[in-house]
Amino acid sequence: MVPVLELDDGTFISECVAITEYLDNLDGNPILTGSTPREKAVIHMMQKRADDQLIDAIGNWFHHATPGLGPVLEAYKSPEWAHRKEWGERQFAKFQRGLDYFNGVLGTQPYIAGERFSMADITAYGALLHAAAAGVGIPDELTALASWHARISERPSVKQRSGQH
C-alpha cells in the first residue's frame, strides 16, 4: 500500500492516519493528533468524517461519474463499478452534504476538530484541493467553510507546499 513508512526496525506502516499518528508522537508533543484522550477522540472522529464525507466521496464521484483520468486507467477499475454513474452521482451528493456539515461545524469553531489545527483539517483541505482540480468549488453560501479554506491556504506550510510565496 502507498503511502508506506519503513521504520528502522523493518516495520512497515501504511495508511496516512497511522503514519501521521506515528510521526506526530515521536517527540512526545503531538500537535496534529491531539494530546489528551478527548482531543485524540474528537480529532480521529472528525478525521474519519472528513475522509468518508469529503475525500472518499469526491474521489468516487470523479472516478465513477466523470471521465476521470481517462481510458488509460479504465483497466484498473472494477468492471462491476466502471459504469455505475448513478453511484458516482450519489457520492457527489454525499460530498455536498459533507460540505454543508463541515460548514456548520466551522460556523461554531475555528478548525474541523475544535480550537487547534489537526490532521482532520489536512484531510478536509486535501479533499477541497481534489474537488477544485475536478472543477468543483466551495458553494458561495458556505461562508464558514470558505473562510476556513482561505485561512488554511495562508498557513506557511500550505503556501510552501503549493509553491506560493
Mean pLDDT, rounded, of the chain: 89
Do 3 and 50 belong together in one domain? no
Per-residue pLDDT tens over the stretch 59-91: 988 887 787 776 665 555 555 655 567 888 889
Structural domain for 15, as ranges: 1-30
pLDDT at 67: 74
pTM comes to 0.87
**What's the CATH code of the domain at 49?**
1.20.1050.10
Do 77 and 146 belong together in one domain? yes
Reduced to 3 states (helix: H, G, I; strand: E, B; else coil), residue 30 is coil
- Proportion of the chain above pLDDT 70, given as a percent: 87
Per-residue pLDDT tens over the stretch 8-46: 999 999 999 999 999 999 999 999 999 999 999 999 999
The pair phi, psi for residue 114, each rounded to 5°, is 135, -135
Do 62 and 100 belong together in one domain? yes
Do 26 and 97 belong together in one domain? no
Do 89 and 156 belong together in one domain? yes
The pair phi, psi for residue 160, each rounded to 5°, is -65, -45
Do 61 and 141 belong together in one domain? yes
Q: Tell me if 61 sits within 8 A of 99, measured CB to CB.
A: no
pLDDT at 165: 44
Do 16 and 63 belong together in one domain? no
Do 25 and 82 belong together in one domain? no
